[in-house]
Amino acid sequence: MELGAYRPSKRRRVGEWMLDPNAKGYQNRQEAQEALSEVLAHRLWADLRRGWRYTNPNLEEVGLVTAHFPGLDDLIGDDEEFAGNPRLASATPDQRRHLFEILFDQMRQGLAVATDALDRGKVKQSAEVSRNRLRLPWATLHQKSGSKSDLKEFRRAVRVLAEGDHLPDYQVHFDDVTDKIRFTNRGVPSRDNAEPWQGHMLPDVLHQARQHAPGWDMYYLEGEWRQWLGQKGIVPRSPEKNFIKFCQSWFAKRGRP
């Protein structure tokens, strides 16, 4: 990825992401580029997470990112690996591929992966570096707020705000572990009051449902559907058919996002 970090003629471009584009020395620019790369890696992995996107589909949903699994071709063609499982042993390589892609996609979208980009310690370390090296929109709430206090004092003030709970319209939640703050509108009923339905649904139905709710993120709709089932106390006999009908009704009421 070309960030224009090393060419003086591209200083204007560097200024789009580097806090101090006039910083001298190779090390300063190298550290800034590494910080941006780590931020991008974290956001990319987090974007692949199976979850809700309230305004936009994720990169995979719109076709900008495609996941491939290195070594899968070797695995599905190795009959010895499946000798102990009659079903897999009798399956064709294409059938095995389809099965493993479903399995690996579920693991990937659930972030059941080992990568520094998702390690909490690494993420917090990258966040500290990025605060000193990167400008908006890569900045944190501390920078965006325009606070003149140092980061330690800013965290303390946010924690006091959350514990005081005196804002009339919003409730503030501060997570010390993830170093994130969440504002909840008091006028909106909490979604956490009802437990979402946790039953199993075949993942292939998400691809089928896209034609019934074009433009919508299927993982977001699945979350809404599961929450709706939980609130209504419904246990669907056929989750796949129920989800399709939910998507049809959703699109009929709201149209494209």
Could you tell me the two tokens for 187? Answer: 């006028």
Give percent of the chain with pLDDT exceeding 90.
16
Could you tell me the two tokens for 246? Answer: 């939910």
Q: Please tell me the predicted confidence (pLDDT) of residue 244.
A: 93
In tens, the pLDDT along 128-177 reads 777 777 765 555 566 556 666 776 777 778 778 778 777 766 677 776 65
Question: Which of 247, 255, 236, 256 is CA-nearest to residue 207?
Answer: 247
pTM over 0.75: no
Q: Which helix (H) or strand (E) holds 161?
A: helix 151-164
- What span, in angstroms and rounded, lies between the C-alpha atoms of 9 and 17? 16
Q: Are 40 and 48 in contact (CB under 8 A)?
A: no
- What span, in angstroms and rounded, lies between the C-alpha atoms of 137 and 132? 14
In tens, the pLDDT along 5-36 reads 444 445 556 766 777 777 777 888 888 888 88
